[in-house]
Each structure stands twice: as C-alpha cells, then as structure tokens.
Structure 1
Amino acid sequence: MEERRIALKFAYDGTSFHGFQRQPDRRTVEGTLVDALRKVGAIKSSRECGYRSSSRTDRGVSALGNIISFNTKFAVDHLCAAVNSEMEDVWAYAAVEVEQDFNPRFAKQRWYRYFLAKSDQDPDMMKAMSRRFVGVHDFSGYSRRDDRNPMRKIDAINITQEGMFYVIDFRAESFLWNMVRRIVWMIDEGSSSRIPLEQVGPDASRRPRRVGLAPPEYLVLMAIDCGILFPVDRKAAIGISRTVERRVRQTAARVAFSQSLLKQVSEV
C-alpha cells in the first residue's frame, strides 16, 4: 500500500498523564500515542514518519479534540480502532488523509474551555473583566518568560453557567504556556473582590506582580480548527462510548458518596 499522510483526532484524560510531550520514564499522552502507533505497525518511529502535533497541553489538562499527523501505509479506516486497542485514557476517534505538507501546528483557531467552580464570584463582573483580555495584547505577564513573542490575539471569551460551574470558553489562533489558566485565575480573583478591579487585565502597569494559576484539571482543549473535516469513526466511537459510560457511572457513585458525607456532617 502506498504511503499517505494522515491526520488523527483524539481525546484524553489529562489527569492520568505527566503532560502531553514525551518525557523519559514518564507516562505522557504523546508517548502513549507514539507507542501505540508503533505497536500496530502504523509507524516505525516518530522521526521517520514526519510526525507533528498540534497542541502540547500541560500536565493535568485534558482534550476532546487534539490532532497529530504522520505518514503511514496503514489503512485509515482501521487506524482508530487499532491504536485504541493499545491505549488507556487516550481515545482516537477520527482519521483522515491530508496533503503531504499538512502540519496541525498551524491551526486557524484553538478552543479551550475552563470549568470554574462557583463560589462568591459576581457573574456580571466576570463577563466585564473577560472583555478586557479580548483582542491583541502583550500577555508576557500571563506566561513564563522565554523568547516567544508575547503578543497574542484572543478572538473571544464567553462565560456561561452550567450546574455548579462557570463555563469559560477561550478562542484564539494560539496561546502562550499557562496563559488561559492565568487569565482564569485573574477573573476569579477579581470577580470575588480578592484583588482590586483595576488590576484585572493584560496591562503590565496595573496587574499584580504575581499572577496565579487556576488548577489544570478543569481545563479542556475542546477543538482545533485546521480547516479539514474529520468524519467520526463509528466503530471507534462505540468502543469509546462504552468506556466513558463506565467512567461516568463510577464518578456519579463517588459524587453521591461525597454528597451523603456532606449531609451527614452537616447534621452534627
């Protein structure tokens, strides 16, 4: 079979890994993916197959729609099911043939979602503060200092409410390391009156000397727009559904226990 370039779309539970990028003697998302691709015979090594990844999420951050690309002779129709059989906590659910020069790193837009637990925040204030970050700004205070250009354009920040959480959606072509989590921290602190309102925003002359980090486990990479359509692999989707449904039941049981415990101690 002739070698083709494939884009693979996948999800993962980031709390089960030491981040996305491969690390020696550490369980990572990328390491799990590459090992699975080798085991099923889709690639020999990441170097030889022109492997590229779209977003390298931090430790604890999950994803519903990350993307990698590579060259392979493996049948695209069977790729998702094959690699899923060799992975835990990572689920491939769409694979499509792309042009040879395709690189998922160059995306049109990335969409991140943060689930912020409700406490004493003012929702109207949260929305007003979020608007300060939209547009082109110098976000050097919202990431580690390195040689990367700190100028970024945030296309939109939308805040809605869902049960016990505020759902904060961020859309931009690219983000700096920890940028989303630092913005969430700032919005949370400001809307709870723990820092002065005038300090909330990207302006370096006003913000606090130290900008904190919101916890990583509530951040999800929802989707990446690379300008291509990913048909969902039906067989892979059925297998993923069974696994996730089992996890939902287990989580629901733990939540029920926690609620019962809270009720028990509140009656003391």
Structure 2
Amino acid sequence: MLMLKNEKQDIDDTIKVTDILGGKDVILQNTFFSKAKEVPGMAEVYRAWAAEKMPIHYVSNSPWQVYPAISDFIEQYQFPKGSMHLRVISTTGLIRGKPGRHKMDVITQILEDFPMRKFILVGDSGEIDPEIYHDIYHLYPHQIIKIFIHDVSSERAVQFDRRVRKRSDSYYESIRKFITRDNNARRRTGTSTQTAMDAMVDTEVPQEQQMIMDANVPLQTKLEEFEARMKRVSSSLPDNVFSVFNLASQLLLDPVVAEQVAAYKENGMMD
C-alpha cells in the first residue's frame, strides 16, 4: 500500500504548521523565521503507517530552495523517510505555474508509476487540496482508498472571531490590510531567494477561505461556507472515502484504512 502525503499542505498545514490562511507575512514568518512546529500527532500517524511497510510520498507546493528546512523538520519530528516532491521554479519567476497544477501533475504521475498500488491522500483545507483530490479520485478511482483533509479553516475562523470581539474594528482592519497587502512594491527581483519567497506565498486559497480574515463576515457564515464546500467536494464521492479531520488520531482509527491494512497483511501484499 502506498501512502501519499500531500502537504501543502502534504506538508504545509497537514503535517507542519504553516498557517496558509494567515496571509503572506505569516507564511514567510512560519517558514523562514520561526521554529517549525508539527501538526500535533501527525508524526505518530506516519510512523504507524510506515511500520506497516507503506511507502510515503511528500508532495508540497514549497519550492526546492526550502528543502533543507523541510528535511530538518522531517528529521526533528521523526517523520518516516519518503520521496520528496517540491515545486520547481525558475529564477526569473516566468515559469512557475499554479501551485495546484504542481500537485495535480505530481500525484497523477506517481499514480501512473505505481498502477497496482493503493493510495491514501492526506491534505488540508487551507488551499485547494480537497478539490484536487476530488479530481484525482475520479481519474483513478480504483487506486484511491481514502482522502483525509485536515480542517484548518474552522478553528482559525473561531480564533479570529474571538480576537475581533476583543479588539476595535479599526485595529483589526489595519492588521488585515497588513497581512494581506501586496508586497510587489518592495520585492527585489531576479534572485533565487526572492523567487523562493514569492513561490512560498503564491497560494491558491478558495474564496470560502479568504473570507476567514474578513471581520465583516459573521462566524456562523464562515463555518457554514466551509461545511458547504466540504459537502460539495464529497457529494460525488463514494461513502467513507472522504473525511475531514481535526485530530491526528482520527486517521489511525479510520475503519476504511484499518480494513485495507488488514486485507493487505492477510494477502501478503504489504511486502
């Protein structure tokens, strides 16, 4: 069985706290200036899967320039080793393409390379992982046994709402503008470092998620939009294939995965 880990997140916000929904400055702060933090419990999940002889592929929209930092994170939290698939970008920034396109291309190529293997896709709700995985399932329905999406949207919406109620509207409006402002005016172009930083903040956040940092949108509306998005993605998928999780333990307790692992062990197909 092949376990496919797709960070954005995957890596970002799936196994490593990046906070894509926090905006450009937060992404850069968490990537380059803060000590990387594990999404609680995910290393244990991956080690448990690796113990069952499940190969792991880490697929991320992060550029190859940040590979040393990702490698240190994987080692620090004792995630199992696996193939790493990061985004190749040009130093001129002319041929980057959409982040979602990178994930789609890489994952479908892995599926093509291992047509006899079954896959579990793990991502998060911060970008378009649910939509990408939905499309991949319909292209390769016999190879995808499970899709897990880490809910990074609901908690952030609740936290933001609490802060809004404690602070003045003018204060939060200034913070929102600071986080989401356009950095083009102060960018230095033509360097590999700057290109890597540009790629890190080149995200595809669905419209439903963009409203999370809008103080004018009620919390209930944000949560309802998130739920509607998840229902829209999962509505055309078979029952029990698509699951949204908040706790890492939910992945280990999932009956579909447990059944597949038991079947592979019994048939001797894990070797």
Q: Determine if the TM-score, normalized by the shorter chain, exceeds 0.5.
A: no
The structure with higher relative contact order (CA 8 Å, sep 6+) is 2
Provide the TM-score with structure 1 as the length reference: 0.28
Higher helix share: 2
Larger Rg over CA atoms:
1
Bigger strand share: 1
